[in-house]
Chains A and B, each alone.
Chain A
């Protein structure tokens, strides 16, 4: 079963606007990761936030984590057409093997 659930399932914005995606998860975690997947391709790691961090930035990306609400958000500022992709949050498996549990993803479309 998949632990994370992204919201919204799909998002369409104009180039230059900001895009916000949310992720909720079910169990305690020590970190949460966000990945991007372009159509029909593998996943690319974007950013990792640890459970003792509340906010993290990387370029145009801003991630927040609220462990009390078991939720995270990914903000992409000044979006570009090249940001069009599916975005997934991922949390570590419970068994300690470092497998990841992915959410169902948010499909972002940035219109030029």
Chain B
């Protein structure tokens, strides 16, 4: 079990640029989640996949955000035309339907700084 991995760990970009983050879940996990966490706050849910299907999106996920999980394995989160308010830690988590109580396993996160 190699755990959930995320790349890159840090990303600094200029306002208006596009960025893409990648998440590799635990291999047998069919559920994948994206969260955003700002300083001093708890994570906030963005979106959720079961296999390759994106089943839920939060209102936080503006039309500048898009997430994919094309083969039901890794996922990407793209932010277009970044704004300073997008600066945050982006966390990915995975779970299985069988996970007791649907415990989620988190990756280390990608810290985005928009200048």
Q: Which residue of B lies closest to A88 (CB)?
A: B42
Residue interface mask A75-112, B partner, CB < 8 A = 1? 00000000000001010110101111111110000000
Interface check B107, CB cutoff 8 A: yes
- Residues in chain B near residue A59, CB distance under 8 A: none
Q: Are A33 and B42 in contact, CB atoms less than 8 angstroms apart?
A: no
Given contact pairs A43-B43, A101-B45, A104-B40, a sample of 12 additional A-B residue pairs in the complex whose CB atoms are under 8 Å apart: A2-B42, A40-B89, A45-B103, A50-B101, A93-B45, A95-B56, A98-B102, A99-B33, A99-B45, A102-B44, A105-B40, A105-B42
Q: Are A45 and B105 in contact, CB atoms less than 8 angstroms apart?
A: yes
Question: Min CB distance, B56 to chain A, in Å?
Answer: 4
Interface check B100, CB cutoff 8 A: yes
Q: Are A48 and B56 in contact, CB atoms less than 8 angstroms apart?
A: no
**What are 6 A-to-B residue pairs whose CB atoms are below 8 Å?**
A43-B106, A88-B43, A92-B102, A99-B48, A99-B56, A102-B44
Interface check A69, CB cutoff 8 A: no
In the complex, number of A-B residue pairs with CB atoms less than 8 Å apart:
65
Report how far A102 CA is from B95 CA in the complex, Å: 17
Report how far A48 CA is from B104 CA in the complex, Å: 11
Residue interface mask B79-98, A partner, CB < 8 A = 1? 00000000001010101000
Q: Which residue of A lies closest to B89 (CB)?
A: A40
- Residues in chain B near residue A42, CB distance under 8 A: 4, 91, 106-109
Interface check B69, CB cutoff 8 A: no
- Residues in chain B near residue A41, CB distance under 8 A: 108-109
Report how far A101 CA is from B41 CA in the complex, Å: 12
Interface check A20, CB cutoff 8 A: no
Known: A2-B42, A42-B109, A105-B42. A100 touches B104 (CB 8 A): yes
Report how far A92 CA is from B95 CA in the complex, Å: 13
Report how far A105 CA is from B105 CA in the complex, Å: 18
